[in-house]
């Protein structure tokens, strides 16, 4: 898949809780940020466990796994810094919510099969792939003309999610979808179950985090700000339906293949800024 491991540097000295044009969009993304920090280290452990199960003709996927792990290691580390800033800006319960998600994932590791966990992981990963085109082709209404560390973090992360969108899908396919029956039963129905469960499970956490933050924010706001927030929520919901929920429907089709998704415009050009000698790069370092 020709993936690159990048080591970005973000300057949060001008960090603001509202970093986009739309307050509801910032609230929603700030809430969603509690997801990658526990999920992505769990994904790393999952692929380390699954790698020995890959068929012998999948050496290429083992190589991609190393890069996937290195990319996700950067993602969750960077999100932890971002999440700390958000929690410290007046939302301490986010830390508990993140810990609750981590506890759920630990429970899955103890009680669920490798097949179940890979289907869940693929569901999570395909959500990131949908976000690639949202951030690079459809986000003007929310962030057009803006540039700050929060936007750079999300765009870098979602661009790399797009870049490695196939890894978990190929794992599931290689291990559980061999032969005609498995290709249909696991490759379609079980994959959909994993996707639907991941959406339901993760959406539960982000929706709770949005509700919590929004309730605190509304208490602090003036009447005019509350009116603005109500208008922003309306516009954001419309945006979300058009840019995320509608494209997500493609993931439910039997012939869905993340590798065939068209590359969002400008995605790799943007990523180059985080590569060695790029203006937003921290230089080349070893991952722990």
Shorter beta-carbon distance to Fe ion: residue 46 or 175 = 46
CA end-to-end distance (rounded Å), the chain: 23
Q: How far is the CB of 266 from Fe ion (least distance, A)?
A: 19
Give the residue carrying structure tokens 């790399």: 160
Q: How far is the CB of 144 from Fe ion (least distance, A)?
A: 24
How far is the C-alpha of 232 from the C-alpha of 12, rounded, in Å?
25
Q: How far is the CB of 84 from Fe ion (least distance, A)?
A: 18
CA distances from 259 to 4, 164, 174, 187, 252 (A): 16, 9, 15, 15, 15
What burial class does residue 283 get, using C-beta atoms within 10 Å of its C-beta: 0-12 exposed, 13-18 middle, 19+ buried? exposed
Site residues (CB under 5 A) for Fe ion? Answer: 40, 72, 75, 161
Q: How far is the CB of 48 from Fe ion (least distance, A)?
A: 15
Shorter beta-carbon distance to Fe ion: residue 28 or 161 = 161
Alpha helices in the chain, H assignment, sequence order: 23-32, 36-50, 59-88, 93-111, 114-137, 140-143, 149-163, 167-176, 180-184, 191-220, 223-240, 246-248, 267-272
Q: How far is the CB of 75 from Fe ion (least distance, A)?
A: 3
Shorter beta-carbon distance to Fe ion: residue 22 or 78 = 78
What burial class does residue 137 get, using C-beta atoms within 10 Å of its C-beta: 0-12 exposed, 13-18 middle, 19+ buried? middle
Shorter beta-carbon distance to Fe ion: residue 75 or 173 = 75
Q: Tell me the two tokens of residue 81.
A: 């810094």
**Cα 285 → chain centroid:** 23
Q: How far is the CB of 191 from Fe ion (least distance, A)?
A: 17
Shorter beta-carbon distance to Fe ion: residue 64 or 161 = 161
Shorter beta-carbon distance to Fe ion: residue 161 or 166 = 161
Q: How far is the CB of 286 from Fe ion (least distance, A)?
A: 19
| Phi, psi dihedral angles at 8 (to 5 degrees) | -85, 165
Of all residues in this chain, which one has the CB nearest to Fe ion in the complex?
75
Shorter beta-carbon distance to Fe ion: residue 24 or 194 = 194
**Whether the Cβ atoms of residue 267 and residue 159 lie closer than 8 Å to each other:** yes
């Amino acid at each position: 898949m020709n993936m690159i491991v990048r080591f970005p540097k973000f300057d949060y000295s001008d960090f603001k809780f509202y970093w986009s044009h739309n307050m509801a969009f910032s609230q929603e993304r700030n809430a969603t940020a509690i997801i990658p920090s526990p999920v992505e280290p769990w994904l790393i452990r999952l692929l380390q466990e699954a790698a020995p199960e890959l068929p012998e003709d999948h050496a290429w996927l083992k190589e991609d796994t190393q890069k996937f792990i290195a990319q996700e290691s950067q993602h969750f580390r960077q999100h932890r810094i971002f999440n700390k800033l958000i929690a410290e800006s007046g939302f301490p319960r986010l830390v508990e919510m993140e810990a609750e998600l981590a506890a759920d994932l630990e429970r899955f590791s103890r009680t669920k099969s490798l097949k179940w966990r890979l289907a869940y992981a693929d569901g999570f990963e395909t959500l990131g792939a949908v976000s690639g085109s949202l951030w690079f082709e459809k986000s003007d209404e929310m962030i057009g003309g803006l540039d700050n560390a929060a936007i750079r973090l999300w765009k870098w992360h979602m661009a790399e999610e797009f870049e490695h969108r196939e890894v978990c899908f190929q794992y599931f396919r290689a291990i559980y979808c061999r032969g005609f029956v498995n290709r249909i039963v696991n490759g379609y129905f079980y994959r959909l179950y994993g996707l639907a469960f991941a959406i339901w499970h993760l959406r539960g956490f982000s929706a709770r985090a949005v509700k919590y933050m929004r309730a605190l924010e509304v208490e602090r706001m003036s009447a005019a700000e509350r009116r603005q927030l109500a208008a922003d929520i309306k516009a954001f919901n419309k945006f979300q339906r058009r840019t995320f929920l509608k494209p997500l429907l493609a993931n439910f089709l039997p012939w869905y293949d993340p590798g065939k998704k068209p590359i969002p415009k400008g995605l790799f050009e943007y990523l180059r800024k985080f590569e060695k000698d790029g203006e937003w790069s921290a230089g080349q370092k070893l991952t722990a």
